[in-house]
Structure 1
Amino acid sequence: MCLLAVYVPQDSGEDFRLVGCGSVLSGKSVPSHGTGLQPLCFLDLRNRIHILNRSVGKKYPVTLVQIFRHTSTEGRMLHYVLTALGIILFLVVAVFRAVFSYNWTWLCRRADCKKIDKIPGPKPIPFFGNMFLFILPEEELSKLFLRLYKEYAPTFRLWVMGFPEVFITDPEDVESLAGQVTCKLRLSAGDLEQHQSHYKEFRLRFASSLAGNRSAHQCWQVNLLKAAILNPLQAVQSIGPVGERSLGRPRGRWDKLKVGYNENVRLLAGLQQAQALMTGCNGLRGSYKESNKWQGRRKFLTPAFHFKILEEYLKVFNTNSQILVEKLGAQVGESFVDITSYVSMCTLDLICETAMGVQIHSQTDGEAEYIKAVKRMAKVVVKRQFTPWLHKDCIYYSSPLGREELRLLQILHGFSDQVMSRGALCVSGYSFDLSKRRRLAFLDLLIEISEQEGLLSGADIREEVDTFMFEGHDTTSMGISWAMYLLGSHPEVQEKVVEELKGIFGDSDREATYGDLQQMKYLERVIKEALRLFPSVPAFSRCLEVDVKIKNYTIPAGTQLPILPFLMHRNPEVFPNPEDFNPDNFLPERVQNRHPFAYIPFSAGPRNCIGQRFAMLEEKVVLSSVLRRLRLESLDKREEVPLLLELILRPQNGIRIKISPR
């Protein structure tokens, strides 16, 4: 801070008055010690302080000695005290608003709350609900849900900060709900919508912020929090009375603080659709957005996965699978390899070439930054979900975790931009050039819909590309990795698969054809059993539009329904000895006698995964290529592989497998 030092001769004993910024400072000069001049006061020049010299100015001319930087102890203390008081007042108002909102919601919804409380579940704590159950290491989350499932199955509820979550695991209930729920957070009755408006706003805002699509109002909240620290009194004054104005809304002079945010930043739909516990599934699996939008896209995208089109992908599948075999073969003699990183790079190459027509060579050039960003983003999303104080955007985007999310989104978006541009898709102008590119069903179909049907904008195409990029590589890579782990843990099953492959290929090294894949019945059962024990997407979610009655319970509209295949696939009444790896669980006669919704690794109902046949063919090609040339040996027992219940079901420390030649 730039200050002015004013001196007068020593021992003058004269009165003086210094006037500046509407305030008057008065005092007397005091003797100096050896300098002949005595500083009277230090004044801030930024406020254009004017010195009015009265009696002192006539008798002893004021001398300007120097301008220098100085901050008095008293000034610092006053600043700290005001800042602390401002922050405390700001937090008190925020907490009061949250408590008031919670209690008001409970009063308005007490009838619905009573219905939900009839459902069994752990006893909630007022205001906080059951959130303290989730204060545990990340690898313990899967064990927590297994314990809750064993204690309260088939249906149980949790309260998280006043928001109900009803977990459905009974196949009949899931089937009955499949046609009555939507991921669009819309309520059927006007009065209920009014009572639950904050609930809807929270869900929508959280899902949107996950993708990096922050609105102007969300930027407001971030800036208000920063302003509260820099200028606490003015920040508190900008907060209107509770019930009249939302915290941090623009008001008067605060319009100057508005920060423009790039509205062209698209939704990262793949991450939104996979973050199963907070919103519904998006894009190709489902959407928290309007149902008519999802229905229109589903109708026009389904032909892209016709079996004749999938046959055209086999060449790409085989080529990249052979690269994976070579990379793994180079590790023969090593103590172990983490199979997940190798498979992830392979599936990323596959999806980029089949869907976008771009060869990125991640297997030969090293692990792409995109893969690392996807893995880290999954952790960020789950950490925010189970950290209630980070649900508010104004807090979240001011935190290190929120800033990390934005950095990761730049990586993810940048990668898809690069892939699309190399695929002759002009992103900036949303124009397309197909003349220099061979026919590729998925991207071409998106372009055709955009040009002829007018259903997809350029931003919509980019959204679907993000969805397919994420879903097409990450979920499939973990499905293949878990299958390899189980085959390496059960050598007798691995040998049965090898015998089946020998019966199909003999001693030939030829590539697999579509007919060959259809003959791999036992390998298909192995893949399905691996997905039963380790579903790539361990949970997805739906939201009720209307009140629904299941068994002896009535679930009110607006309730979020997490559905966990990770739990459903461990139902001992459906799968005897559910923790055992048994491919015979998928013999035709057993499947025929089983409820169709008892096994849902690709979600359930009309919003199931549109690319499941694509994924099954991809897994068959990759696994058969590896097993024909290499032997797998898993080094860790099941209990030694901690699970992370994230967007994708992952092992905490990777999957260690020893590779040997056949």
Structure 2
Amino acid sequence: MATDIQFAPVEAAPRPRKAARRILTSREEFRAAKRVPKAKLLPFVGVLFASKPHPPSFFVRMANEYGEIVGFDIAGKPLYLVNHPDYIQHVMQTNAGNYRKSDFYYRLKAMFGDGMLVTENELWRSKRTLAQPSFRRHRFDHYCNVMAECGTNLCDVVEAETRDGQPINIVPKVMAAALNVATRTLMNCDLAEDKDRFTEIITTIMVQSEKRVWSLFELLHDLPTKARAERLQAIADFDALLYKVIKDRMEGRSTPDPAGPDMLQMLLESACPVTGEPLSLSRLRDDFLTMVLAGHETTAVSIAWCLYMLCRHPEHMATAREEVDRVLGGRQPTYEDLSELKFVKMVAQETMRLYPPFWTMSRAALADDEVRGYRIPKGATIMLCPYVMHRNPEYWPEPEKFDPYRFTPEAGADRPKHAYFPFGTGPRQCIANHFAMFEAQIMVAQMLQRFDLSLLTSKEVESEPMISLRPKQGIHFTARPRL
């Protein structure tokens, strides 16, 4: 559609950073290590059947039964679920050079192309290098102002739709607000006119991505079925929207963010650090698909869960509201206010403990390794699951209890750093982790500032595992404006 776009000449590309060093385990060390205990399940298909209908809960049960590491077979290939901070640190940080993204991620290429979520090595590093300036401190003030403006719009929508006492499903409303934040900060554009179709696109891609990842026969998803047609149409519609945004910028119908170059402008003016060539249209598409879909989806879901957990715990709701009123005094929040909204941040952190933005991650070993006395053979997939690790009672007493005070400095002083990793850790930690936390603090504070919220039902809301943990069938509130 937009193959006629002409890219501006660019200067020579900087030299990319070196890859993480691989720590090799000797043959003797590997042989002396213990074999990983295996779960007693049906061969070949055991995990896929046993984990239904809610895989995160199944893996928690396995961790509670087997301890810090347990093995499974999926289609004849070994998978190890780990449940100790030392494994997280070793695989994601200390010996990250020995681990690549697992095959589960490559199944996402049908939807995400070569976006940052699925790429490796120099290509990934070049993407990270180019995107990093968009998430540095000098941009935070502006980003937070945009988040607050979008949060105000969210509150206006909630007030209008609940004026007559009608309940509201907060999830799509927060998703629309988070989408607006993403498109305004990354591309200085507003896709409000297309938000309903965009929500459909995102849901289609997320649902089918999760099904493809856990499918026993991945290629079945490429057969000419209705689901495949829906997926291809969703991707085509997203591409059409994105290509229009890029073409409008290139042809002068839209302008860069006056507060400073947005990511779209920076990428259009950049060279690939590997090749020195201008970035191709397909590469821009893949990167923005990942940023917009994965980024705004996970943040929006976290905000919805925050409001849900506060409504279920009135004592924490009262504490959060008192802090918001004291710090903001009725005005719109800014970046400077975030350091004073300490309890609201703890609410967001505790919510992300129970409902992490990415409920699981995985890596594949490039060579034989040994961790905590166990053998990790070459080719094995390591499952690093925040949903499981965040429920390990050794580090999180009463793990299912919602308790924001776990995140006071005193409470966390003796807790291992890698017992909590909602955004990943190491070289591939989520590039927008601070951005997401700021957005959660700001929008939760604004909702508490404007409304008395009540859940429509006392029945517990179930989570639906996709890439994120969406509230199954939404979260329904009544909202009365505060006097």
CA distance in 2, matches of 1:580, 1:205: 35
CA distance in 2, matches of 1:420, 1:116: 53
From the superposition, tell whether residues 172 and 339 of structure 1 become closer, same or farther in structure 2 (CA, over 3 Å): same
Q: Deviations over 1:624-646 (max 9, x none)?
A: 11111111122344x63222121
Q: Is contact 2:188-2:262 (8 Å) kept?
A: no
| Structure ranking higher on relative contact order (CA contacts 8 Å, 6+ apart) | 2
From the superposition, tell whether residues 577 and 332 of structure 1 become closer, same or farther in structure 2 (CA, over 3 Å): farther
From the superposition, tell whether residues 131 and 296 of structure 1 become closer, same or farther in structure 2 (CA, over 3 Å): same
Q: How far did residue 455 of structure 1 move?
A: 6.8
Q: How far did residue 207 of structure 1 move?
A: 3.8
AA partner of residue 660 (structure 1): R
1:374 corresponds to: 202
One of 317, 340, 343 as aligned partner of 2:174: 343
Q: How far did residue 520 of structure 1 move?
A: 0.8
CA distance in 2, matches of 1:460, 1:627: 40
2:475 is the counterpart of 1:648: no
Q: Deviations over 1:44-86 (max 9, x none)?
A: xxxxxxxxxxxxxxxxxxxxxxxxxxxxxxxxxxxxxxxxxxx
Q: Is contact 1:116-1:157 (8 Å) kept?
A: no
2:376 is the counterpart of 1:459: no
2:306 corresponds to: 483
CA distance in 1, matches of 2:45, 2:231: 26
SS of equivalent to 1:519? coil
One of 219, 223, 230 as aligned partner of 1:392: 219
CA distance in 2, matches of 1:586, 1:434: 43
Q: Is contact 1:181-1:545 (8 Å) kept?
A: no
1:25 corresponds to: none
One of 169, 180, 193 as aligned partner of 2:83: 169
One of 503, 519, 535 as aligned partner of 2:326: 503
Paired residue total: 447
2:107 corresponds to: 206
Q: How far did residue 382 of structure 1 move?
A: 2.1
2:447 corresponds to: 626
Q: Deviations over 1:193-243 (max 9, x none)?
A: xxxxxxx9x7686343344xxxxxxxxxxxxxxxxxxxxxxxxxxxxxxxx
From the superposition, tell whether residues 544 and 472 of structure 1 become closer, same or farther in structure 2 (CA, over 3 Å): same
SS of equivalent to 2:271? helix
Q: Is contact 2:107-2:213 (8 Å) kept?
A: no
SS of equivalent to 2:359? coil
Q: Deviations over 1:354-381 (max 9, x none)?
A: 110102225xx7x421212212222222
CA distance in 2, matches of 1:168, 1:117: 15
2:23 corresponds to: none
SS of equivalent to 1:549? strand
Q: How does 1:511-550 map to 2 (within 5 A)?
A: 511-550=332-371
Q: How does 1:116-195 map to 2 (within 5 A)?
A: 118-134=35-51, 136-137=52-53, 140-179=54-93, 180-181=95-96
CA distance in 2, matches of 1:579, 1:127: 32
CA distance in 1, matches of 2:176, 2:287: 21
Q: Is contact 1:317-1:622 (8 Å) kept?
A: yes
One of 131, 140, 159 as aligned partner of 1:310: 140
From the CA coordinates, give the structure whose radius of gyration is larger.
Answer: 1
Q: How does 1:8-23 map to 2 (within 5 A)?
A: none
From the superposition, tell whether residues 130 and 624 of structure 1 become closer, same or farther in structure 2 (CA, over 3 Å): closer
Q: How far did residue 400 of structure 1 move?
A: 3.5
Q: How far did residue 436 of structure 1 move?
A: 6.9
2:186 corresponds to: 355
Q: Is contact 1:181-1:544 (8 Å) kept?
A: no
From the superposition, tell whether residues 434 and 406 of structure 1 become closer, same or farther in structure 2 (CA, over 3 Å): closer
Q: How far did residue 133 of structure 1 move?
A: 1.9
Q: How far did residue 336 of structure 1 move?
A: 2.1
CA distance in 1, matches of 2:441, 2:84: 30
2:436 is the counterpart of 1:615: yes
Q: Is contact 2:305-2:355 (8 Å) kept?
A: yes
Flag structure 2 segments of 5+ consecutive residues without an equivalent: 1-30
Q: Is contact 1:574-1:594 (8 Å) kept?
A: yes
SS of equivalent to 1:633? strand
SS of equivalent to 1:554? strand
Q: Deviations over 1:122-161 (max 9, x none)?
A: 2344454543324x44xx3333222222212321122111
CA distance in 1, matches of 2:105, 2:463: 29
AA partner of residue 72 (structure 2): L
SS of equivalent to 1:388? coil
Q: How far did residue 570 of structure 1 move?
A: 0.6
2:247 corresponds to: 421
2:436 is the counterpart of 1:596: no
Q: Is contact 1:336-1:659 (8 Å) kept?
A: yes
State which drifts further: 433-442 or 561-570: 433-442
AA partner of residue 206 (structure 1): R
CA distance in 1, matches of 2:272, 2:388: 44
Q: Is contact 2:33-2:375 (8 Å) kept?
A: yes
One of 328, 331, 339 as aligned partner of 2:158: 328
SS of equivalent to 2:417? coil
One of 216, 235, 238 as aligned partner of 1:409: 235
AA partner of residue 296 (structure 1): S
1:272 corresponds to: none
Q: Deviations over 1:260-290 (max 9, x none)?
A: xxxxxxx273xxxxxxxxxxxxx1xx53x33
2:383 is the counterpart of 1:383: no
Q: How far did residue 657 of structure 1 move?
A: 1.5
When normalised by structure 2's length, the TM-score is 0.85
From the superposition, tell whether residues 434 and 347 of structure 1 become closer, same or farther in structure 2 (CA, over 3 Å): closer
From the superposition, tell whether residues 435 and 494 of structure 1 become closer, same or farther in structure 2 (CA, over 3 Å): closer
Q: How does 1:77-92 map to 2 (within 5 A)?
A: none
Q: Is contact 1:572-1:578 (8 Å) kept?
A: yes
Q: Is contact 2:453-2:480 (8 Å) kept?
A: yes
Q: Is contact 1:450-1:458 (8 Å) kept?
A: no
From the superposition, tell whether residues 127 and 320 of structure 1 become closer, same or farther in structure 2 (CA, over 3 Å): closer
CA distance in 1, matches of 2:245, 2:32: 50
CA distance in 2, matches of 1:567, 1:477: 22
CA distance in 1, matches of 2:33, 2:228: 32
2:390 is the counterpart of 1:569: yes
Question: Identity over the aligned pairs, expressed in percent?
Answer: 26
From the superposition, tell whether residues 184 and 548 of structure 1 become closer, same or farther in structure 2 (CA, over 3 Å): closer
When normalised by structure 1's length, the TM-score is 0.63
State which drifts further: 142-151 or 626-635: 142-151
Q: Is contact 1:119-1:155 (8 Å) kept?
A: yes
- CA RMSD in angstroms comes to 2.8
Flag structure 1 segments of 5+ consecutive residues without an equivalent: 1-113, 187-199, 212-266, 270-282, 427-431
Q: Is contact 1:373-1:408 (8 Å) kept?
A: yes
Q: How far did residue 334 of structure 1 move?
A: 2.6
